[in-house]
Structure 1
Amino acid sequence: MESLQLHDTKTHDETRQGEAFAPFKLDDNQYKKHFYIESYGCAMNFADSEVVASILQNNGFGATLNIEQADLIFVNTCSIREKAELTVRKRLTEFRKLKKAKPGMLVGVLGCMAERLKEKFIQEEKLVDLVVGPDAYRTLPGLIEEAETGQKAVNVLLSRDETYADISPIRLNSNGVNAFVSIMRGCNNMCSFCVVPFTRGRERSRDAESIINECKDLFEQGYREVTLLGQNVDSYQDTNNENKTTSFAELLERVAQIDPLLRVRFSTSHPKDITDDVLFTIKKYDNICNYIHLPVQSGSTRMLQLMNRTYTREWYIAKVDRIKELLPDCGLSTDMITGFCTETEEDHQESLSLMEYCKYDLAYMYFYSERPGTLAARRFKDDIPEEVKKRRLQEMIDLHRIHSLQSMQKDVGKTFKVLIEGTSKKNENELYGRTDHNKVVIFPKEDFKKGEYVTVKINSCTAGTLFGTPSAP
């Protein structure tokens, strides 16, 4: 799966994994029953939790940040790596203790892990009452009623058309500035290492008008940045009743045209699908962020073929060159996997040399974790020792730290337009925000407020954060 993480967890910005969510205003008197959600993994899971919250609230359940108050506990899960699943199992064991203290409490698993394990979750784990896949959230009210009778409730049916386009997400734990907007679901790319096509189903695009309307509503509510989400946004394509087709480049332009003050980001792009039309659209609009997440996974053509990535090392480099040609100042990030099946030291060195060539601003790096049911699990032997995987990963991380620091150092002395996202966690007299290159900036609070744009001159940096002072535009 391509990474849909939108923030570098090594920077000042908060990590989103495993957070509990609730709307800003909790009215304990309005609802007789309450739900609590924890989400793990990619941004799509967090966006899905906002859809789930909307469905539950419309059916009489209020959100709570107090887990002991909850009548329903949901964990929205990730299956991309074994570690993610182990984290969820540990958390569910802790919830079982709460259930003993509060008879009638229900615990449910949502998302990719629910889809992958299906009924086995109830039969083998005996930790949950409900198992609900990513395309079955509309059935939650009925499943909850079933579970309340003592029956175990399961719905993991995948859909070819479900996009939740008509559901207005409840912005959970929102800062009121940034919002995720899901534009499509599922994935048609059968990367051999990836479980997503099996847990999220086939690719389908959401109705363009519903996306535009959601983004307009968010702007009118005071939000100043939207991130268009999809497993592969570049393959977005919607055909309306008049047989007019909207491409991703056209959708991107329409969102940008809502208002110059609305910043637009997107994630994730597949190298084989991102087009010049998208690049020209980014270039045309100042409010489309100059930043592209372009996962490569490996710098070795041999590995890329085994991964079924459908491009070569040379092809990927040519794509990066094209991005830099059209968008010279574009920020670039990637995903990398070490220790995939049969990976040699030569393959690993090719990955390092590709990183040296691209000098990514951000990189999400992992060692290979075999996932049951994937093409790789069926076709190849996971034959690289874990200590070798970890050693190669550390070499990759060490190299990226050099590139990240170099990228930050280039910005010292420059000025950037920063969208303020909130108060610094380390100093209440400082604010933080991001440049359109997705770099976190810390600066003195003065009289500025969250949601405003401010011009900041960069004075210093670390490998993950820029520090500056406000200046005249």
Structure 2
Amino acid sequence: MNEKQRHEQNQIKQSHASDQASDERNLERLKDKTSDDFIKYFEATYEPPNLRKAQKRGKQDIQYHDDFEIEEQFRDLGVGKKYLIRTYGCQMNEHDTEVMSGILEEMGYEATTDQKEADMILLNTCAIRENAENKVFGELGHLKSLKVENPDLIIGVCGCMSQEESVVNRILAKHHHVDLIFGTHNIHRLPQLVQNAYLSKERVVEVWSKEGDVIENLPKRRKGQIKAWVNIMYGCDKFCTYCIVPYTRGKERSRRPEDIIQEVRHLAAQGYKEVTFLGQNVNAYGKDLDIDFGLGDLMDEVRKIDIPRVRFTTSHPRDFDDRLIEVLGKGDNLMPHIHLPVQSGNSDVLKLMGRKYTREQYLELVDKIKEAIPHATFSTDIIVGFPNETEEQFEDTMTLYDEVGFEHAYTFIFSPRDGTPADKFKDEVTEDEKKQRLYRLNDKVNAYAKEAMKKYEGQTVKVLVEGESKNNPDVLAGYTEHSKLVNFTGPKSAIGDIVEVEITQAKTWSLDGVMVEEAVEVK
């Protein structure tokens, strides 16, 4: 590092420390104040979703911090205490929970699954659909009695819902038993926030509209030692008209390639068999960096690392470029299953959604991938009942499903999100019509899934064994290279290995089989 870089890094650290100190001073002043004071503080420091301003976000504000550590004063804060985190939503939220768990355990906390013995309960929330938010508010209602029984219990709400002004105001006004609210950009501040929650007489609210930081060296408590999630970027700049993610997760910020590669090498050395790269729009990786290095280049580098399986999610068709297709075509440890959200099969609806590709462009991309990877399989996301979607437009989605031959799809009825452009669209499609379309689409999804599974009967596939089946401890379970769930008989010693399994029966969503030989060595 040269003198100029050292000077810039010191300036960043000083700025970051100043931001933290300012927030802590503000919270200290509010300790003895009322809930109304907290609402005023939140409204003064939080910026609600603003499409025009958000779309002007620049890359120059991205700051990298390599020096995360838990200060000595927080290291014993959780000794003798237990925590429970309930996670809603996507893999990114799951991975955020792993980070929060890692931080809490370095503070002395112990994990528990029993809410009655927990000293702290955090709800890591999802804002992408109204139903997800309703589940969280329902859970907050259930937790109220626990707070009455144990006034020292800390209840916190974090994640994407916490980035929404209306949600935070609703919690402050109606859920007085919630002690702590923090956003997606504040996870690294968890030690300070927990201490403030214990010391404050009122609730602690810290939700930064400020964004741009990438924090390295965060501790993680991963689930198991077989599969691992690795964030390669954060945020999204696509601004689809129905989506709240660009506001709750902020602008696109890529981690540096060397940090990602080092993390994957470390995981390989620990014996992990699979990594999945995560990002709200993983295909946009590297576009905010000052180097010519994208997702294709990153995948090409990890292809050389001794780890059997590498995946990535979630893709946006606009950023799925030829370089990535070329690298995926090399195979090796790069898995041939592609999750490629289409959302609609009609070009006019796609335009209203702000997806910025047409039906024809999507199909052309799929054909390119199939040509480079003949054995590739596809899954997708689809929204039905987008405002004023006609029957003919919905039928375009149905025929596109046929043309691609998806083997799975996550399907949803359009859910308006406050602060997004689509929330203001006039909609004359009835709820009953939307439900009927969803039923018809799901019938097709189920039929294609069943057909895709049927072709595996009698075949031998490679399965990464994750553990016992959820329904039968005498049966093992794992996933194929194409992400198919396999339940099979075999020795418990196979857990954590990649083994060959002969498929004896195909079901709609899983396969049954018998292990035919010892663990397969994958190079």
Distance 1:316 1:29 in 2: 52
What residue number does 2:355 align with?
Answer: 309
Alignment of 1:383 onto 2:428: yes
Matches within 5 A, 1:198-237: 198-237=247-286
Match of 2:106 among 46, 58, 67: 58
Q: Could you tell me which of 197, 204, 212 is aligned with 1:161?
A: 212
In structure 1, stretches of 5+ residues that fail to align are: 1-27
Instruction: Give 1:150 deviation, angstroms.
Output: 1.5
CA distance in 2, matches of 1:50, 1:170: 5
Unaligned 5+ runs, structure 2: 1-75
Measured after TM superposition, the shift of residue 223 of structure 1 is 1.5
State the partner residue of 1:22.
Answer: none
Question: What corresponds to 1:465 in structure 2?
Answer: 510
Is 1:74 the equivalent of 2:122?
yes
The Cα of 1:127 is off from its aligned counterpart by: 4.3
Q: Which position in structure 2 is the counterpart of 1:340?
A: 386
Aligned equivalent of 1:253: 300
1:35 & 1:382 partners in 2: Cα distance?
44
Structure 2 Cα separation of the partners of residues 152 and 265 of structure 1:
40
Do 1:208 and 1:238's aligned partners in 2 also have CA atoms closer than 8 Å? Answer: no
Q: Is the 8 A contact 2:286 2:294 kept in 1?
A: yes
Q: How does 1:75-94 map to 2 (within 5 A)?
A: 75-94=123-142
Q: Deviations over 1:403-443 (max 9, x none)?
A: 11111112222222111111112332321111110011122
Return the offset for 1:30: 8.4
Check if 1:434 corresponds to 2:458. no
Show the counterpart of 2:94.
46
Quote the Cα distance in structure 1 between the aligned partners of 2:168 and 2:147: 22
Distance (Å, rounded) in 2 between the aligned partners of 1:293 and 1:340: 21
Q: TM-score, normalised by structure 1?
A: 0.89
Tell me the equivalent position of 1:402.
447
**Could you say which residue in structure 2 is the equivalent of 1:134?**
184
Aligned letter for 2:95?
A
| Residues 316 and 341, structure 2, Cα contact 8 Å, conserved in 1 | yes
Post-superposition offset of 1:145 = 2.4
d(CA) in 2 for partners of 1:87, 1:382: 25
> Is this contact kept in 2: 1:177–1:224, CA < 8 A?
yes
Hey, what's the Cα distance between the residues in 2 that align with 1:123 and 1:428?
46
1:173-196 deviation line (CA, Å, top 9, x unaligned): x23211111111110010001010
Deviation at 1:239, TM superposition (A): 7.8
Q: Check the 8 A contact 1:114/1:121 in 2, yes or no.
A: no
Q: CA deviation at 1:68?
A: 1.6
Distance apart, 1:361 and its partner CA? 1.1
Match of 2:399 among 348, 353, 372: 353
Aligned residues: 440
More contact order relative to length (CA 8 Å, sep ≥ 6)? 1
Aligned counterparts of 2:375 and 2:437: Cα–Cα separation in 1? 30
Return the alpha-carbon distance in structure 1 between the equivalents of residues 308 and 501 of structure 2. Answer: 19
For 1:341 and 1:444, locate their aligned partners in 2 and report how far apart those are by CA, in whole Å. Answer: 48
The two structures have a TM-score, normalised by structure 2, of 0.81
* SS, match of residue 272 in structure 1: helix
Shift of 1:42: 0.5
Q: Is the 8 A contact 1:178 1:223 kept in 2?
A: yes
What is aligned with 1:456?
A: 501
SS at match of 1:411: coil
Q: Which residue of 2 aligns with 1:321?
A: 367
Residues 159/60 of structure 1: CA separation in 2 closer, same or farther (3 Å cut): farther
Q: Measured at CA, do residues 124 and 98 of structure 1 come closer, stay the same or move farther in structure 2, by a change above 3 Å?
A: closer
Amino acid at match of 1:189: K
Q: Percent identity?
A: 40
Amino acid at match of 2:324: V
1-side partners of 2:78 and 2:173: how far apart?
A: 36
- The C-alpha deviation readout for 1:68-124, integer Å capped at 9, x for no partner, is 222211000011111111111111111111010011111110111111123442134
Alignment of 1:111 with 2:156, yes or no, is no
Residue identity matched to 1:178? K
Secondary structure of 2:397's aligned partner: helix
Residue type matched to 1:396 in 2? L
Cα distance in 1 for partners of 2:513, 2:127 equals 39
CA-based RMSD: 1.9
Alpha-carbon contact 1:421-1:433 (below 8 Å) kept: yes
